[in-house]
Amino acid sequence: MESWRIMPITEEDIDQIIEIENDLFQKPWSRTSCLHELTCEGSYNFGIAFTDPDRPSQFIAYIFFRIIMDEMHLFRIGVAQKWQKKGFATYLFQQSIQIASEKGADTVYLEVRASNTPAISLYHKLGFRLIGKRPRYYPETNEDALVLMKQIDLTFSQSSAQIMPGQS
Ligand SMILES: CC(C)(COP(=O)(O)OP(=O)(O)OC[C@H]1O[C@@H](n2cnc3c(N)ncnc32)[C@H](O)[C@@H]1OP(=O)(O)O)[C@@H](O)C(=O)NCCC(=O)NCCS
């Protein structure tokens, strides 16, 4: 029977991740960037995939982040269009925050395009607050980046991590 699960991203999964990237982002990561990220020190990468014994895993969402000292830095999060608005990003985030916390991180930082309303809304819902702006950070559109930060609150992330996508 088909079911989904969260798992570390490996080199064999990169083609599927790139396919989702190309569909979601104005400036998608290249295969080289993705592969580089898999091997960087402090880098953690997870995907959500449907698994079926008779077929290869089908990835529908992914997250790339790094832990640097006591900080978690979000580099990328994406959910394939067909699977958006079902709680997968929230779930991936909360699982990742849990892992980062166990590794000693107490704060999460990220940058987001000022026009990316769905992502800003997601981060707001997860408890991030605006701490700054990087003017014209994205050269292809001259757009500003908003810098958001969240203090890791273990009680919050532990209880929320138990809510599975589709159940909230
Ligand atoms: C941003 C993104 C990761 C959200 O993924 P998702 O799985 O749909 O998010 P969730 O289902 O967990 O939604 C959680 C909250 O995010 C916000 N949100 C998600 N999609 C939204 C949309 N299309 N419009 C407005 N808010 C949205 C809502 O606040 C939502 O809470 P709600 O369901 O109670 O309204 C997804 O839209 C995506 O992949 N976008 C393209 C890639 C991207 O911009 N990544 C972030 C920058 S690195």
What is the dotted CATH code of the domain comprising 3-161? Answer: 3.40.630.30
150-161 confidence digits (pLDDT tens): 999 866 545 444
115-141 confidence digits (pLDDT tens): 999 999 999 999 999 999 999 999 989
Ligand 1 atom with the smallest distance to the CA of 75 is 48
Q: Quote the CA–CA distance of 160 and 141 in Å, as a whole number.
A: 36
CA of 54 to the centre of ligand 1 (A): 31
Pocket test residue of 60, 72, 79, 116 for ligand 1, highest count of atoms within 8 A of CB: 79
Average pLDDT of the chain to the nearest whole number: 92
- Could you tell me the residue ranges of all domains in the chain? 3-161
Residues 6+ apart with CB under 8 A from 120: 112, 146
